[in-house]
Amino acid sequence: MAILVTGGTGFIGSHTSIELIKAGYDVVIVDDYSNSKPLVLDRIEEISGVRPTFYQLNVLDREALRQVFRNEEIEAVIHFAAFKAVGESVEKPLAYYHNNLGGLVAVLEVMAEFDVKKIVFSSSATVYGMDNQSPLTEDLPTSAINPYGYTKVMNEQILRDLYHAHPEWSVMVLRYFNPIGAHPSGLIGEDPQGIPNNIMPYITQVAIGKLDHLNVFGDDYDTPDGTGVRDYIHVVDLAKGHVDAIGYALKNKGLEVVNLGTGEGYSVLDLVTNFEAANDVEIPYEITNRRPGDVATCYADASYAKELMGWQAEHNLADMCRDAWNWQKNNPNGFN
């Protein structure tokens, strides 16, 4: 029996595929390479010693997806495949709703056809919206401030409604905080197309000379140094959280919503100084205007993950900074 990983060559998907293989699972990946490269598969094999079965397809293509379920003995699904850029979602809302909502519905419908009723879903701390106070607990009300965030809120609702109608399902909704870092081998990491939307690849591209300086969006927040505070989590810890979630889903029916974060908040300037110290490089930065929709502080209460699945983050901020730089240094042009 195998675990199907949609979007399995993306940043989090590739790290999760490796941890699944390490934990003894057979892995089948589907991806359309819209935000990744074929080289990722080679790197997964190089790190894990196993080349996952791979199908190039878009999950909206139900017939292609059915063929995967016919060919493989799928036991459970981890669903990563989605568009994820906040700014782009504001410019292209219909594309985001079509892809992110339609993709999940297609996956769930095909799963149901083949009587596969265990899913781990990739959600986000963005569902906590603007009004909740950190540390954020899973029982807080959800809201959103951009189309990307709304797709996650709606996806969670789709899964909740499915579970209420069909309580024989196992549904694990994992809300990620801010994944950074890279595999310690330096063979896989975050490889954004174009100008990075996330802070760590922006910092590493400044460090390697691709970008002149880091733009820090706002230094007048109600935080110790005025810059936004976030809960940064090592992508390998996040990946291991998915392995634990699959283990839980295989043994238990039910719907669980689980934060995956460290439970600690660090500011943008904390991240910069930690990166400089861990890697002995300098990151020039400029303070610029706040981005609309950015909250001052966002970090997890991560206690439920430990209580439910025995999971907790193991890497510290220095590890995250070191591994991110190791990846960028060894792959100045990413997977290109």
Tell me the C-alpha distance between 17 and 285, whole Å: 35
The 10 Å Cβ neighbour count of residue 273 is: 16
Q: Strand 74-79 vs strand 26-31: parallel, antiparallel, or unpaired? A: unpaired
Which of 173, 80, 82 lies closest to 128, judged by CA?
173
3-class DSSP state of 27: strand
Assign residue 133 a region (left: φ > 0; alpha: ψ between -120 and 50; beta: otherwise): beta
Rounded to 5°, the CA angle 300-93-58 comes to 85
* Candidate list 96, 148, 163, 266, residue with the active-site label: 148
Could you tell me if 77 and 6 are in contact, meaning their C-beta atoms sit under 8 angstroms apart? yes
Place of tokens 């009300």: 141
Which of 230, 214, 234, 195 lies closest to 327, judged by CA?
234
DSSP state of 133: P
Beta bridge partners of 267: 229
Beta bridge partners of 285: 214
304 is catalytic: no
Bond from prior residue into 135 cis (ω within 30 degrees of 0) = yes
Chain CA centroid to CA 45, Å: 21
Residues in contact with 60: Cβ distance below 8 Å, sequence separation at least 6, in sequence order: 98, 99, 102, 103, 106
Tell me the C-alpha distance between 316 and 325, whole Å: 15
Residue 268, CA distances (Å) to 95, 173, 215, 264 in order: 31, 27, 10, 13
- Hey, which residues are catalytic here? 148
